[in-house]
Amino acid sequence: MTAPDPAPHATAEPRSAHPAPRTVLLTGAAGGVGTFLRASLPGYGYRLRCTDLVPVPDDPEALTVDLRDPEAVREAVRGTDAVVHLGGLSVEDTFDRILDANIRGAYHLYEAVRLEGVRRVVFASSSHTIGFVPRPAQQPEQPLPVETPHRPDTYYGLSKCFGESLASLYADKYGVETVSIRLGSCYARPRDTRMLATWLSPADAARLVHAALTAPDVHHSVVYGISANTRGWWDLAPARALGYRPQDDAEVHAAEVLAEHGELAPDSPEFRYLGGAFTRAEPQRR
Ligand code: 15L
């Protein structure tokens, strides 16, 4: 396991009056990103309280929490210093299931955070908030800014747009600070050619979450969550401003990935849009 980096701003006098969080609630802890973070975040000094709708492997103390149950969510939040909210559906589904898990679920989470006086949330947003943004034909001079207007590609992406707006509301109205991380493709290695631009290594995911948990005075900040990919075209400056120092680059896997998958076909959604296959129209699920 990659040794955690020293907190990049640890030497700087934190501008925020709040000490770094110690006990962190990790929702969605049984999922792909949750599994990576369960292995890495304790190395940064965090005590994790893990929750998911399903049992969390190898964690007998994990709590089974349904995000649709506000009381269960509040109980899980109580006594923590910060929340990394990965919970909910992580791919497209019916509107009703997305509504329950991702929209109502996020509302219950933020209400619990507000009522329990927790001051920092790291929200797992997604690049599918802007999935219909056209992908540039070649590496752009200027990377894609985080201020790019929402263009969700799925009900899933729409739910993450809601989550970002919910975080903004709770920052402005209640002082709950959030870093919304628009996660790219967080897997052990890039799985296809599109991911040579959108990959977030598990070690960089931990670096980014640590920076999001410890950066002072974030209010509501939106950042992109990718590694320092040679083919990346999303602006990492806002994440770096929080103290994120990515160490990985999907390019080290490029030869292997291209040998297996080839270059993107010009008529493919992966070539045309930021959100790739998520932009494909699909029959309404029931
Ligand atoms: C996401 O947000 C999904 O949760 C993940 O499963 C991947 O599909 C990722 O986007 C991606 O775009 O690669």
pLDDT tens column, 220-268: 999 999 999 999 999 999 999 999 999 999 999 999 999 999 999 999 9
Q: Which of 86, 98, 128 to mutate to test the pocket of ligand 1 (most atoms within 8 A of CB)?
A: 128
List the catalytic residue out of 44, 46, 156, 224: 156
- Looking at residue 149, its pLDDT comes to 98
What are the phi and psi torsion angles at 208 (to 5°)? -70, -45
Q: How far is the CA of 53 from the centre of ligand 1 (A)?
A: 19
- Looking at residue 20, its pLDDT comes to 76
Q: Which helix (H) or strand (E) element contains residue 158? A: helix 155-174
Chain position carrying tokens 């929750």: 51
* Cα dihedral sign, 236-37-172-160: positive
- Looking at residue 5, its pLDDT comes to 58
CB of 90 closer than 6 angstroms to any ligand 1 atom: yes
Round to whole Å and give the CA distance between 79 and 117. 9
Q: Which of 33, 132, 183, 257 to mutate to test the pocket of ligand 1 (most atoms within 8 A of CB)?
A: 183
Looking at ligand 1, which atom is closest to the CA of residue 90?
Answer: 4
Can 44 be counted among the known catalytic residues? no
Round to whole Å and give the CA distance between 232 and 199. 8
Residues of the chain where predicted confidence (pLDDT) is lower than 70: 1-18, 284, 286
Looking at ligand 1, which atom is closest to the CA of residue 157?
Answer: 2
Instruction: Provide the H-helix boundaries in 175-245.
Output: 195-198, 202-214, 237-241
